[in-house]
Amino acid sequence: MTDGTDKADGRNMRDEADGTGGTDEANGTGVARETGGSLVREAHERGIATLTLDSPANRNALSAPLVAGLGAALARCADDPGVRAVLLTHTCNTFCAGADLKAPPDPEAFVALMRTVVELRKPVVARVTGHVRAGGLGLLAACDIAVAGPDSSYAFTEARLGLAPAVISMPVLPRMDPRAASRYYLTGERFDAAEAARTGLVTLAVATDDGIDAALEPVLDGLRRSSPEGLAASKALVTATVSETFDRWSKELTARSASLFASAEAREGVTAFLERRDPAWVL
């Protein structure tokens, strides 16, 4: 299992991110391919491959099929000379709710997915208009650029379930302000897009949902105007620290994550969540 959960930060989140909201269509035209049992939609427009997480039934949770489908789509983008950059977005009102407790991916597969995003020779841009929780924050932090809408929200909910944000720390901690990471790792509090931008978790927060695509226009235009090798070399420079973190910590943090998931506290935390009650340790 991964660090995250497909559930968010308590009973309120069950209502606000239940996957019943309107869809956020990708910034592109024409579905060219579908992968992962239609859990990841793929479209192409003028060198931008838009990958849309499309698993609203579980709020785009990191299930084994979704992780495999996204990995396969990224591999195709890597091999396609017509793709200059990748835009990662989502349907429903949740970008990613964390790990799917009912169909979790292998922890090494999730680590490999995050590393693929970081080390892809093409920039990956996240377009976020919904909630992001736990393991989903690792996927978000792995992206090179992230633009967030006003209805998005964020939370590292692992400690509330008897877990810790272990493997997602590899892309998160090199990006995020240390004091902010300490607060949100330890408390599990929700925070908004403006705070996510202030702390370095996302690149830019926009004031209206209508403004998110306008904010992306100069970003995507800049990527289209840049040469493939120039982009690859430039990305290697800005992701070097994150890649070194994966080199140093992948094995240890994957083992730590697996150990935490097997613990008695994690079993109580997950069970309590599924039963819609507080875990035994809540004071």
Tens digit of pLDDT for each residue in 140-160?
Answer: 999 999 999 999 999 999 999
Q: How far apart are CA 119 and CA 50, in angstroms?
A: 18
Q: How confident is the model at residue 103 (pLDDT cuts 50, 70, 90)?
A: confident
Per-residue pLDDT for 223 more than 50? yes
Query: Lowest mean pLDDT: which of 183-197, 212-226, 231-245, 261-275?
Result: 261-275
More confident site: 15 or 186: 186
pLDDT for 2 beyond 60: no
Residue 161's pLDDT is 94
194-210: average pLDDT: 96
pLDDT tens across 124-137, in order? 999 999 999 999 99
Domains of the chain, earliest start first: 11-266 (3.90.226.10)
Q: Is the dihedral of CA 230, 143, 53, 21 positive or negative?
A: negative
With H, G, I as helix, E, B as strand and everything else as coil, classify residue 131.
strand
194: CB partners within 8 A, 6+ apart: 205
List pLDDT tens digits, range 8-44. Answer: 344 433 433 333 233 333 333 233 344 444 899 999 9
List of residues 6+ apart from 244 with CB closer than 8 A = none
Residue 38: what pLDDT? 84
Q: Collapsing DSSP states into helix, strand and coil, what is residue 274?
A: helix
Q: Is residue 84 very low, low, confident or very high in pLDDT (cuts 50, 70, 90)?
A: very high
The mean of the pLDDT values for the chain is 89
pLDDT value, residue 64: 94
Over residues 244-249, mean pLDDT: 98
Whether residue 274 is predicted with pLDDT greater than 90 in this model: the reply is no
C-alpha distances in angstroms, 203 versus 110, 131, 175? 23, 16, 10
> Could you give the 3-state DSSP secondary structure of residue 198?
helix
